[in-house]
Structure 1
Amino acid sequence: MTRSLRVGGQDVSRETLGRLEIYADLLKRWNPRINLVAPSTLPDLWTRHIADSAQVFELAPPEARSWVDLGTGGGFPGLVVAVLAAELAPDLAVTCIESDQRKATFLRTVLRETGIKAEVRAERIEAAPAMNADVVSARALAALDRLLPMVQRHLKPGGIALFPKGDSYRSEVQQALESWRFAADTYQSQTNPNAVILKVGDIRRA
């Protein structure tokens, strides 16, 4: 039996951990060229980015079959979700939308090197066809009031959105409520005491 290891709150196999290590190594090699993450965060890559993304995966409903990550950038949380899903939710189809062609090339390289299946769409979020996803995520992409119209376009009725947010999330929620109505649950981040994950659903214009 393969011995399990724990990553970001998930019990994962050595194979999954190995894929995440391949991903981390590729990111460190590519980062000086295309700035996938802030260089200052590289020493803490596993906690700051990988475990932080893994906890987003944990909040998805088990019946979800489609996940769209907006503005994936260096792959957080979209690629981490795809790696974890290969083992823990094999029926979950993951799509990463990233308009920067160089970053999209990096994402496809990680998928090829890890053997993970996911779709990378190198186009603008507003130009991509509506994805009708069960789950939509976005990390460090925009304030909530700007995120919601993007998410509404790609989220199926009854779906949920997951947003890692910093300590300014309360003001973001208040500002978004000026134009939008939505249901929101807040989950304390496991990796940052000043951060949360917002779980948002029932999104509609005010």
Structure 2
Amino acid sequence: MQQRNDLEASVGANVSRETLDALVDYSENLIKWSGKINLIAPSTMAELWTRHICDSAQVLRLAPDGPVQWADLGSGGGLPGIVVAILLKDASPGARTQLIESDKRKAAFLKLMIDRHALNANVVVERIEKAPSAKADIVTARALAPLDLLLTYVAQHMQPMGTALLFKGRNFQAELDQASLAWQFNVEVETSRVDPESRVLRLSRLRKREIAG
């Protein structure tokens, strides 16, 4: 019951039994495979449900409604990509999730989870900057790169009128200030429902800043 309560508090909506069961199964496999592949830090396993699953799930309440194309950059163990794909299966069946991950072992895990839960998703095994543009309506990234570099990847894979949902820590404002030197964007800063020191940045209208002279 506590797992459901924590999850629904993050998503901001009711979650079906099937979705909850799928996320529990995914979290168990995440622990199992982390013994072979570095998917999550060992120090965070005790708090896996809140620290990783619920934290990832909160992007769903920040996303536009309707069937859309999602792209998760540097998916790693599927946080938030697999979590999003599992939630979308019930919440928005027409939505598709593309996970971009260059590590072949991690990509194999992602493909296993997609097949295991019959998700409307696919994995691109390639470096983010070399992958074909996902032309996504929504781009997500978690613990990937400093914001100024990350926005280069986002711009490559997001539709011009798309939305980026990016996880950042306590230094988010310094990263925003640095990124704004080279980029123009609209941003809404959302406090994490899991960690009060973390933020989810909701960026739109992203464009490269013109340099005078």
Percentage of matched positions with identical amino acids: 45
Task: Identify which of 179, 185, 189 aligns with 1:186.
Answer: 189
Pair 1:58-2:51 in alignment: no
For 2:114, the equivalent position in structure 1 comes to 111
Pair 1:137-2:140 in alignment: yes
User: Shift of the alpha carbon at 1:18?
Assistant: 0.7
In the alignment, the residues of structure 1 paired with residue 54 and residue 145 of structure 2 have an alpha-carbon distance, to the nearest angstrom, of 21
Amino acid at match of 1:136: V
Pair 1:14-2:17 in alignment: yes
- Within a 5 Å distance, the mapping from 1:3-82 to structure 2 comes to 5-6=4-5, 7=7, 8-9=10-11, 10-82=13-85
Amino acid at match of 1:187: E
Contact persistence 2:66–2:92 (CA under 8 A): no
Paired residue secondary structure (2:14): strand
In the alignment, the residues of structure 2 paired with residue 57 and residue 144 of structure 1 have an alpha-carbon distance, to the nearest angstrom, of 21
Q: For 1:125-150, what per-residue CA distance to the aligned partner results, in whole angstroms no more than 9, with x for missing partners?
A: 11111111100010000010000111
Q: How many residues align?
A: 202
- Within a 5 Å distance, the mapping from 1:187-206 to structure 2 comes to 187-206=190-209
Q: For 1:52-109, what per-residue CA distance to the aligned partner results, in whole angstroms no more than 9, with x for missing partners?
A: 0110121110035100000000101111000000000111110000000000000111
In the alignment, the residues of structure 1 paired with residue 67 and residue 155 of structure 2 have an alpha-carbon distance, to the nearest angstrom, of 17
Moved over 4 A (4+): none
In the alignment, the residues of structure 1 paired with residue 67 and residue 150 of structure 2 have an alpha-carbon distance, to the nearest angstrom, of 21
Unaligned runs of 5+ residues in structure 1 are: none
Unaligned runs of 5+ residues in structure 2 are: none
TM-score (norm 2): 0.92
Paired residue secondary structure (2:35): helix
| Distance 1:199-1:64 versus aligned 2 partners, 3 A rule | farther
Amino acid at match of 2:91: L
For 2:149, the equivalent position in structure 1 comes to 146
| Distance 1:161-1:64 versus aligned 2 partners, 3 A rule | farther
Amino acid at match of 1:141: L
